[in-house]
Amino acid sequence: NAKLRHVEKDVLIPQIMRDRAKELCSDKVQAFTRCCQETGFLMVVKCRQENTALKDCLVGYYSDPSFYEECKAEYLKQREEYRATGIKKKRQKVASNV
């Protein structure tokens, strides 16, 4: 029975979704980053395929209702732990260039 505030629904949970999606799409993030580093100013033209693959991967997660529910559950767990202890836990992030 968790009531969510506007900022939780529209900011905090989507932030978890973005972070997790970047982790889950890390191979595509790395491919796009590598392409951009190798091509410089021509990246808009030369990295179109990598950019499309990355966007498709991220949007796939953003538009998945079950992924939203997973991230919401993760947020609620963090919120419950914070309310119980007063200590805010940071998410473990996979190292990436993004």
Give pLDDT, residue 97. 47
pLDDT at 93: 53
What residues have CB less than 8 Å from 31, skipping those under 6 apart?
50, 53, 54
The tens-digit pLDDT sequence of the chain (98 residues) is: 568 999 999 999 999 999 999 999 999 999 999 999 998 888 888 999 999 999 999 999 999 999 999 999 999 999 999 888 887 776 655 444 44
At 27-53, the pLDDT tens digits run 999 999 999 999 888 888 899 999 999
pLDDT at site 83 = 86
